[in-house]
Amino acid sequence: MASAAIPRRRVRIDLAIATVVGLLIVVLGFGATVSDRFATTANLLTVAEQAAALGFVAIGQTLAVLVGGIDLSVGAMVTAANVFVASFVHGSDVLMIPGLVAVLVLGAAIGLVNGIVTVRTGVHPLIVTLGTASILNGLVLLYTLQPTGKVPAWFEDFAYDTAFGLPIAGLVFLIAAAIVALVLARTGFGRAVYAVGGNYEAARLAGLPAERVTLMVYAASGFFAALAGAYYVSRTGTGDPRVGDPMTLASITPVVVGGTQLGGGKGGILGTVLGVLLISLVNNLLNYMNVSTFIQWVVQGLIIITAVSLFVNRGKRL
């Protein structure tokens, strides 16, 4: 049998990515006609900055979905991290950095708990993370019903700082996304995530550390949610026990729109990043058009429907 030379590189264009890019172009084009302030760099930078928090959470969610699960506790995690940092630091310069480190560790730890319960008891992650979310929310609300705590002024500015002309937050988001994307594509761990998401039992029988991979993914999701929560403290300067409420569902939209399927094993960070940009742009555009927040919700729902019904999915549970 003649051995083939390495075949020419066929660039496989992912249908989902193509759709999102297409939609992005449409939105940009449409926005430019609506308002000339829309397509300016200044505005786009603002969008990137606003997208950062959602972006962090979406990165974590992408990982959870890729491994075949889902993390519905991210919103509660964001809130908890938010309140924790503001209360713990309480304006003290000295405690700021330790506070940040502590909250990230905490986030990973809670995520780890999610993972452990999911793997050990066999309960669907939907239920487990819902439970965790409820517990976290309850604990936070028991602690405080109103925004509380504060942070030193220099940290507050952080959220609005720029470096090389780009908002720091946006940069950190893109760098984080790039790192995670690299890990997913090029490391054994990343490959294992796809394998476990595709077929948990097969992965296990192939000798992959399926359990460990799952645990680490949920820990990562918790970590990123905590990161988003800490970022929010910088933006608002205080700890708000309601801040994370919309985040859970909001984190799923860009993941799904970006082509990562809820069954697991398929998709990636690129799609999520594009999805985050798309959602943020659309929201921004709707603001420019003075469309009420309520209609924005409707649009968001329609985006979800359109994006997922465009490609017929493998019918998998969830």
Partner 1 sequence: MIELKGISKSFPGVKSLDGVSFEARAGEIHALLGENGAGKSTLIKVMAGAYTPDEGTICFDGQERMWSNPRQAKDAGIHVIYQELLLFPELSVAENLYVGRPPRGIARLIDRKAMLRGAEAVLARLGHHLDPRARVKDLSVADRQMVEIGKALIGETKLLVLDEPTAVISGREADLLFERMETLRAAGVCLIYVSHRLEEIFRVANRVTVLKDGRHVATCPIAEVTRDSLVTMMVGRSLQDIFPAKPRPAASATPVLSVRDLRMAPKVRQVSFDLLPGEILGIAGLVGAGRSEVAHAIFGASTRDSGTVILDGLLHDRPTPRVSIDAGLGFLTEDRKGEGLLMLLDTAANISAPTLKGFVTSGFIDRDAEIQAARDEIGRFRIAVPGPTSGVSALSGGNQQKILFARWTRACRKVLILDEPTRGVDVGAKVEIYRIIRELADAGIGVIVISSELPEVVGLATRVLVMREGIVTGELSGEDISETAIMRLATADMADLAATAAA
Partner 2 sequence: MTTITEPVSVTSPTDLARRIALPAVLVVLIGIATALQPSFMSGSNIQDILTQAAPLGMVVLGQTLVILVRGLDLSVASLMATVAVLATAFNATSNAMIPVIFVAAMVLSAMVGLASGLLITRRNVSPFLATLAMMIVLQGLRFAYTHGAPAGSLPPGFRTLGTGQFFGIPIDLCAFALLFGVLGLMMHRSALGRQIYIVGGNPRAADLVGIRSDRITILCYVLSSMLAGLGGLFLVGYVGTVDNFVGRGYELDSIIAAVVGGVALSGGRGTLAGAVTGALILVVMFNIVIILGLPIQAQLVIRGTIIIAAAALFARNARGA
Q: Which does 209 bind (CB under 5 to 8 A by kind): partner 1, partner 2, none?
A: partner 1
Q: Tell whether residue 198 is a contact of partner 1 (CB under 8 A).
A: yes
Residues β-bridged to residue 162 = 167
Q: Tell whether residue 205 is a contact of partner 2 (CB under 8 A).
A: no
Nearer to partner 1, 48 or 256 (CB): 256
- Residue list 208-247, contact with partner 2 (CB under 8 A): none
- Closest approach, Cβ 167 to partner 1, in A, equals 29
- Closest approach, Cβ 279 to partner 2, in A, equals 12
Nearer to partner 1, 187 or 292 (CB): 187
Amino acid of residue 161: D
Q: Is 267 left (phi over 0), alpha (psi -120 to 50) or beta?
A: left
Using CB atoms within 10 Å of the CB of residue 10, give its burial: 0 to 12 exposed, 13 to 18 middle, 19+ buried: exposed
Residue whose pair of structure tokens reads 């992650």 in the numeric block: 125
Q: What mask of x and - would describe binding to partner 2 in positions 105 to 144, judged by CB under 8 A? A: ------------x-xxxxxx-xxx-xxxxxxxxxx-xx--
Selection from 198, 209, 215, 193 nearest residue 314 by Cα: 198
Q: What mask of x and - would describe binding to partner 2 in positions 244 to 273, judged by CB under 8 A? A: -----x--x---x-----xx----------
Q: Tell whether residue 290 is a contact of partner 2 (CB under 8 A).
A: no
**Residue 237 phi, psi dihedral angles, 5° rounding:** 80, 0
Determine the Cα–Cα distance for residues 30 and 246; give it in Å rounded to an integer. 27
- Closest approach, Cβ 135 to partner 2, in A, equals 4
Of 92, 121, 187, 306, the residue at the interface with partner 1 (CB under 8 A) is: 187
Selection from 250, 225, 219, 280 nearest residue 82 by Cα: 225
- Tokens representing residue 218 in the block: 């949920």
Stretch that binds partner 1, among 18-26, 169-177, 185-193, 243-251 (CB under 8 A): 185-193
Secondary structure class of 42 (helix, strand, coil): helix
Query: Cβ contacts of residue 261 below 8 Å, gap of 6+?
Result: 65, 267, 313, 314, 316
- Residue list 244-283, contact with partner 1 (CB under 8 A): 265-266
Buried b / exposed e across 283-318, counting CB within 10 Å, b at 16+?
bbbbeeeeeeeeebeebbeebbeebbeeeeeeeeee
- Tokens representing residue 87 in the block: 């209360």
Q: By the criterion CB under 8 A, which residues form the site for partner 2?
A: 70, 117, 119-124, 126-128, 130-139, 141-142, 145, 200-201, 249, 252, 256, 262-263, 292-302, 304-305, 308-309, 312-313, 315-318
Q: By the criterion CB under 8 A, which residues form the site for partner 1?
A: 1-4, 6-7, 10, 182, 186-188, 191-192, 194-195, 198-199, 201-209, 265-266
